[in-house]
Structure 1
Amino acid sequence: MTQSITNEILALVLPKFGYSIDDCQISLLGNGLINNTYLVKTTDKTFVLQCLNQQVFTSPLNVTNNADQISSHLQVKSDNNRYALTPVCQLRTTDNKNHVVVQGQYWRSLHYIPNCYTVESIANVEQASTVANAFAQFTAALSDFNSESLAEIITQFHDLSMRIVQLNQAIDNASKPLLIAAQASIQFIQSQQNFIDNIVKTTKSLPLRVTHNDTKINNLLFSTETNKPVAVIDLDTCMAGYLMHDFGDMVRTCCASIAEDSADLDNMSIDWNMLTALTSAYVAGFNGSLSEIERTSLLCGIKLMPFMLSTRFLTDFLNGDRYFKTTYARHNLVRAENQLQLYKLFCQQESLLTDIVLSTPALNATYK
């Protein structure tokens, strides 16, 4: 068991959900880096047991309460055949709560969907289409949900202005050797004030929606029978936000030819076919409900997400690598330069990017 979670602790947790550890088979589930997650099997039930990481989620009740609201809304949609995916619901404790606290740790139990698997990286264009469509269906099904009723899980998570303030503070406090190493990246980011101002202006005109904020393929469950997505999982970072954040992060992780920490920048390219497929499938997932201003904002999101992540990597490098895990001295600087290169490539192909995002027709039908 990881992070000092022992059988003794589990023996205290399981009865809160109505089970004895003596009647359970317990195994680690997945390879998530944040929470400790287990698959629990009894003679008549299989479910997921999870211990929330309170270093990341400092208000764990906000996480469980948000998840309850979202899954309840999606369940109603599903019951009325208005949501094709399967909602993942939190199970209740013996005293009808969505969590328990044992030795200061917050635990919850989640509905287990059988005959499914997860994927770590996108293999082809067809698979990318299913991913984009599933995340769009998730957001579209929540379009009539009041996103502002959700707690803010990570304060100002996608606030570019705040990230620039943090970068400037890091510049003021950084050692001279670090500043010299990062000089080119710092100067380039500072030269992009027009882009930064445009992002601020754009967000003021966009409607808030429920956004997932971690739109990677490994946050979907795929059916072993159809190999299509059946559920959106990991709702921990769901909160009010803008579509351009979810879409931009999806593009960032799918369309670059090299990994985000590769230093081989001369060989970085963009997979435009992948971008076209993502756009078509994502727009289709909204079934005609995507407004013109939101579709236009997807252009901003594609450039915003690598740009903002580069500022976060650079900030952490200047601060002495306090946030992101690193494996060598300049790891965060390499990441920052990598994401800035991706941003530059998108900017250099502005005309093509615009044509794909604004002109690509939606798929004829959503994935079921």
Structure 2
Amino acid sequence: MQSVANIVEVVSNFNCEVDVESLRAFGSGHINDTYFLKNSTASGEDYLLQRINHHIFKDVDQLTQNMCRVIAHLKNKVKTQGAGDPDKEVMTLIPAIDGKYYYRDSTGDYWRLCLFLKDTRSYDVVENTTQAFQGGEAFGKFQKMLSDLPSGLLFDVIPDFHNIQKRLAALNEAAGSDPLDRMKKVLPELEYISTHAQQMLYFQQPQQQLALPKRVTHNDTKFNNVLLDKNDQAQCVIDLDTVMDGYIAYDFGDAIRTIINTAAEDEADLDKIKLNMPLFEAYTKGYLKEAGQFLTGSEVDSLVMGALLLPYMQAVRFLTDYISGDHYFKVKFDGHNLQRTRAQLQLHKLLHENADALQTIINNEMAVYQQKQA
């Protein structure tokens, strides 16, 4: 927890009125530190204050420019469509007194402030098909509204973020140096990763790179990055740090990674990890209801590979961090990243075994969407 004196310095540099004494930690993010701040006036808005992890996001100015560009585009879309409230359906950043949308404090940390959307909530684990459908609809709509924002306008804030070839190279480098002598604990995991590596290079194949368009994507579509209202209806997609150009299948795959799993991302008991196919079907139905309006045939065909790749890639990232000494992801105990790795590899194994069933569901839902449009 940050000191009150430090927070006073930070919030005094934003255009807001808050009660610093109300500061409390908020959310379950792995990278940034998030705090809830109560407005000092009863009728005012509340806020979320985030300390940006500038060791990961090395150019905070570029990151912020990306967010502002995407937020402006989304708010304009909601406004011109005339059926929604852009301040409720799109996150709102609060400017600092110098006009920037972030502030660097006296210790060198970077902060941003955004409006807290009242009467909303997020879930780390999907509880029912209604929530799954809403999550699919939210991310599908997010992508649809950004589908006319040309690629090439945003900064690559984390180069090669979803490039599995580079992720595997980083894992091999970490394994080669083995600074904490952890390699002997992870040999089965490394063997599994090596066995499936060639298939997971699908998006690096020249024919796929020619067929698949680069689009502005979210790149962190965990279900808890959708805010639902009190009726469990999707209201707002949040956590826009990683908005960059990418493949649609990456976003679909990362969402499925967190939705189809019957257990938590870091479940220690691998027997609890199973596939909830009704949730997958519900998410896919909601997603294609919106995204089906702009996806190409090649993009639809790539969705299952995205669903296979993202848990595999997440396992590679967790294992790389574990071998290297747990510098990237926050950990709660010794071996947490290894536990996460094993859980994600188990999920990948189940998805790989059921890939044909997943493809059938996608094909069926896409056919239903096309029939409705005919």
Fold-level match, TM-score > 0.5?
yes
- 1:234, CA displacement in angstroms? 1.6
Alignment of 1:209 onto 2:215? yes
Assess, with a 3 A threshold, how the Cα gap between structure 1 residues 82 and 173 changes in structure 2: closer, same or farther: farther
1:275-286 → structure 2 map (5 Å cutoff): 275-286=280-291
Assess, with a 3 A threshold, how the Cα gap between structure 1 residues 266 and 231 changes in structure 2: closer, same or farther: closer
From 98, 102, 105, give the equivalent of 1:99.
102
Assess, with a 3 A threshold, how the Cα gap between structure 1 residues 18 and 354 changes in structure 2: closer, same or farther: closer
Letter aligned with residue 57 of structure 1: F
Q: Is the 8 A contact 1:150 1:239 kept in 2?
A: yes
- 1:169, CA displacement in angstroms? 1.3
Hey, what does 2:365 align to over in structure 1? 360
Structure 2: 5+ residue stretches without partners = none
Structure 2 CA distance, aligned partners of 1:295 and 1:125?
Answer: 22
Q: Is the 8 A contact 1:25 1:42 kept in 2?
A: no
Letter aligned with residue 215 of structure 2: R
Structure 1 CA distance, aligned partners of 2:168 and 2:286?
Answer: 33
User: Equivalent pairs: percent with the same residue?
Assistant: 30
> How large is the Cα RMSD of the aligned pairs?
2.8
Alignment of 1:333 onto 2:329? no
Assess, with a 3 A threshold, how the Cα gap between structure 1 residues 132 and 9 changes in structure 2: closer, same or farther: same
Structure 2 CA distance, aligned partners of 1:287 and 1:347?
Answer: 24
Assess, with a 3 A threshold, how the Cα gap between structure 1 residues 147 and 90 changes in structure 2: closer, same or farther: farther
SS at 1:121 equivalent: coil
Letter aligned with residue 140 of structure 1: K
Hey, what does 2:200 align to over in structure 1? 196
- 1:240, CA displacement in angstroms? 1.4
Hey, what does 1:155 align to over in structure 2? 159
How many residue pairs match? The answer is 360
Structure 1: 5+ residue stretches without partners = none
Deviations 1:201-235 (Å, cap 9, x if unpaired)? 134532112221222232222223x3311111121
Hey, what does 1:17 align to over in structure 2? 14
SS at 2:23 equivalent: strand
- 1:161, CA displacement in angstroms? 0.2
Structure 2 CA distance, aligned partners of 1:206 and 1:113?
Answer: 35
The alignment's TM-score, normalised by the length of structure 1, stands at 0.87
Structure 2 CA distance, aligned partners of 1:260 and 1:64?
Answer: 28
SS at 1:80 equivalent: helix
Letter aligned with residue 265 of structure 2: E
Alignment of 1:46 onto 2:42? no
Hey, what does 2:81 align to over in structure 1? 81
Query: Moved runs in structure 1, 4+ residues, more than 6 A?
Result: none
SS at 1:57 equivalent: coil
Assess, with a 3 A threshold, how the Cα gap between structure 1 residues 331 and 41 changes in structure 2: closer, same or farther: closer
Structure 2 CA distance, aligned partners of 1:330 and 1:216?
Answer: 23
Q: Is the 8 A contact 1:303 1:346 kept in 2?
A: yes
Letter aligned with residue 59 of structure 1: D
Hey, what does 1:35 align to over in structure 2? 33
Structure 2 CA distance, aligned partners of 1:345 and 1:5?
Answer: 45
SS at 1:92 equivalent: coil
Q: Is the 8 A contact 1:39 1:46 kept in 2?
A: no
- 1:51, CA displacement in angstroms? 3.2
Letter aligned with residue 102 of structure 1: D
Q: Is the 8 A contact 1:82 1:141 kept in 2?
A: no
Hey, what does 2:255 align to over in structure 1? 250
The alignment's TM-score, normalised by the length of structure 2, stands at 0.85
Letter aligned with residue 16 of structure 1: N
